[in-house]
Structure 1
């Protein structure tokens, strides 16, 4: 299942490209793992000690449960040109969406650390808080642009429901 391709969204890149692309609003929960990341995760955790591998899976499970209600998504997937994981932050607010942010594992010493995903999680939290603050702002109406808050008579009929 490729989580990043939605026919309703104009998506010119495939799921394994680390470039930024516009968002996809069809996700329900905040942290998801793309199929392209499964083999990388398996290879990396098998190379770890039992204790570190258990810690890796526990941290990933905690991250998923912590972000279940966050509408901003973090998708863990494979990087395009190397065997490493990337965490992509996808803004779910379609009207004011920002470009996706991608955090990748370091080039060397991929020792089961999820610091790249934790950075993406912080970005997702920041985007979610910003979206909430934007929703709370009062919206300007057409009449607010005219002196005294009244529409001119020639425009009054156009904006009445």
Structure 2
């Protein structure tokens, strides 16, 4: 099973997945977490942040998630880039797939911005930011939409856990 959490940078994808993982791992030992930033580092940070490199990055995450899924693990994925073709691949290739859209406006993401990504963009110090100079393509038909601005990490984790029977059974 793969639970794929997507949304703009700085909306809380990693925090949501860490919260779910922290709560359930003791009772769901087959639960693993795959975070886009960790996968980027795992491969030595060899990719940039342009759209073509983002596609390569998501394909790496998909390959890793598919390998873990094939071993019967429950895979929590936090990934930024949500191109429709890539999300369609997920639906076609994972054994059991739940797509979660952590929805938030760019303004909400800017207000959180723990790594200063949006402020560096505004200052002209970086580019290739999804939602600004790279189009954000929100998922067309996610299984679950969570409003990042209307909940705490704990309350959003509660909703995600309750929505996915395999997670709810371990809660």
Does TM, scored on the shorter chain, surpass 0.5?
A: no
Which gives a bigger RCO, structure 1 or 2 (Cα 8 Å, sep 6+)? 2
Q: Which structure: larger Rg?
A: 1
Structure that is richer in helix per residue: 2
